[in-house]
Amino acid sequence: MGWTRALFFAGGMVAAGALKLASQSKTLRKAAVNATAIALDANDAIQEATQNLMDDADDLRAEAERQRKIDAAVAERMAEIEEGVREEVVAEVDGKPAKKPAARQSRAKK
């Protein structure tokens, strides 16, 4: 591990020296400024694309949540209706007079 740190330190020193020499040359400085500007533009584009992906994911989640709520409400209503129909059919088979379905009664109370 000691050699690795020493190599990183030496590499950093070489990079610092190269940057110092590059900053003294107007051509190299101009190239470095242009490269940095391009990197910043790329960074902005990546951030925008990432934000778009996050927005799309949020939209999908909201749609899925809405659909889940709809499905749960439909399942609840279907269970109420099924219970009422079942009571009507049992009353018909047993020869008893049919009463109002439970689903309609509970809807009227709400």
Backbone angles phi, psi at 57, to 5 degrees: -65, -40
Model pLDDT for residues 29-72, shown as the tens digit of each residue: 788 789 999 999 999 999 999 999 999 999 999 999 999 999 99
Model pLDDT for residues 85-99, shown as the tens digit of each residue: 888 888 888 887 766
Can you count the helices (H) and strands (E) in the chain? Answer: 3, 0
The contacts of residue 80 (CB under 8 Å, 6+ apart) are 102, 103, 106
105 vs 39, which has greater pLDDT? 39
Tokens encoding 39: 């990197």
φ/ψ bin of 95: left (φ > 0), alpha (ψ from -120 to 50), beta (otherwise): left
SS3 57: helix
Tokens 């009664």 sit on residue: 105
Is residue 110 over pLDDT 50? no
Rounded to whole angstroms, the Cα distance separating 16 from 12 reads 6
With a threshold of 0.85, does the pTM exceed it? no
